[in-house]
Amino acid sequence: MYSSKIKGLGKYVPENIVTNKDLSEIMDTSDEWIQERTGIKERRHIKKGDGNSCAKMGVKAAKIAIERAEIDKDDIDLIVFATLSPDYYFPGSGVIVQDVLGIETCPAIDVRNQCSGFIYAISVADQFIKTGMYKNVLVIGSENHSGGLDMTTRGRNVSVIFGDGAGAAVLSRSEDDSKILSTHLHSQGQYSKELSLIGPSTQHWVPEIIAENPQENIPYYPYMDGQLVFKHAVVRFSEVINEGLDANDLKKEDINLLIPHQANLRISQFIQKKFQLSDDRVYNNIQRYGNTTAASIPIALTEAWEEGKVKKGDVIVLAAFGSGFTWGSCILKW
């Protein structure tokens, strides 16, 4: 059986910066209120007319990752695209990436696991490489949240959190000690509606939405029970990180860098304290980008690598929790 490793990384975020002060001018909120609850100072939003979309941001990140992996786009055997905000209801964004990159033909899979999407996508790619079916897999996490948020006081509890952006990784067959050691995936569907967007959907389609009173019931905007999500997140993060460490006979002292999904700085700080990790062993960038869901881990991993915080031989832990509820971890040796 083969092993896979991350051979190239890339990221892209829109140029348009939206600060907490900007949001305070369109809804009843403040910089202090947002930072106290989330740690976020600013985020990036697609600006109409800037040419960006979920897939196109993914392409921009992917081109950088492919170049850094020192392979040609035609060496890509499979595309795995993680997002909750695809360009279209269908088809998926993976095929759009394949077309825009100019790859004549290759399989493309879309993963819909929201905040855990990139971990799930990495796991899928890892299995295909392990079996020998594919040699180079392009994994993308990309989100266009701003196109579907309620940017009013009514929606502030959710809308102040999320930003747009994309991250990408090229996974290739490993020929040295650098490899993905293991991935661990979980879900608990009994909480599926606690962080969700119920409609439009085939169970609640456009005519029903139009017929409803939009001031009373707004199913086409995201809903989140923030306290419940936080409560479950801190538990599941800890469990799945320990699961990954135990599977590889590692201890918390062996972690060189933890990159958690950037959901809320307070969650990351809670986990950091629980595992007794110093600031230089945890990477956070939610302050600058907000929660970019499936894109958050690849953006953060790319930045950490660019800043020299990921070194050969390091044990890197990636972990995520989100809608579904779903959660997962990836333990890798750089």
What secondary structure does DSSP assign to 282-321, as a single string?
B---HHHH-B-GGGHHHHHHHHHHHTT-S-TT-EEEEEEE
Distance CA 162, CA 160 (A): 6
Q: Do residues 150 and 215 both lie within one domain?
A: no
The type of residue at 185 is L
Q: Do residues 170 and 248 both lie within one domain?
A: no
Q: Is the pTM of this model over 0.85?
A: yes
54-69 helix and 93-101 helix, angle to the nearest 10 degrees: 50
- What letter does residue 185 receive in the DSSP assignment? E
Distance CA 249, CA 300 (A): 26
Q: Do residues 225 and 328 both lie within one domain?
A: yes
Q: Do residues 213 and 329 both lie within one domain?
A: yes
Q: Do residues 152 and 218 both lie within one domain?
A: no
Q: What is the pLDDT of residue 6?
A: 98
CATH of the domain at 161: 3.40.47.10
Q: Do residues 108 and 194 both lie within one domain?
A: no
Give backbone dihedrals phi and psi of 259, rounded to 5 degrees, phi first: -120, 100
Q: Do residues 166 and 276 both lie within one domain?
A: no
Query: CA angle, corner 5, sides to 187 and 52, nearest 5?
Result: 70
Q: Do residues 164 and 20 both lie within one domain?
A: yes
Q: Do residues 184 and 264 both lie within one domain?
A: yes
Q: Do residues 172 and 186 both lie within one domain?
A: no
Residues of the chain falling short of pLDDT 70: 213-219
Q: What is the pLDDT of residue 216?
A: 58
Q: What is the pLDDT of residue 221?
A: 86
Q: What is the pLDDT of residue 61?
A: 98
Distance CA 11, CA 1 (A): 30
Q: Do residues 198 and 292 both lie within one domain?
A: yes
Q: Name the residues annotated as catalytic.
A: 115, 261, 291
Using an 8 Å Cβ cutoff, are 277 and 252 in contact? Answer: yes
Distance CA 173, CA 216 (A): 53
Among the candidates 113, 146, 176, a domain finishes at 176
Total of domains in the chain: 2
Q: Locate 86 and state its tokens.
A: 């695809």
Which domain covers residue 93, as residue numbers?
4-176
- What letter does residue 325 receive in the DSSP assignment? T
Among the candidates 176, 205, 239, a domain finishes at 176
* Among 317, 195, 175, residue whose Cα is nearest residue 254: 317
Q: What is the pLDDT of residue 114?
A: 96
Q: What is the pLDDT of residue 288?
A: 98
Strands 315-322 and 326-333: antiparallel
Q: What is the pLDDT of residue 55?
A: 98
Q: Locate 89 and state its tokens.
A: 């209801």
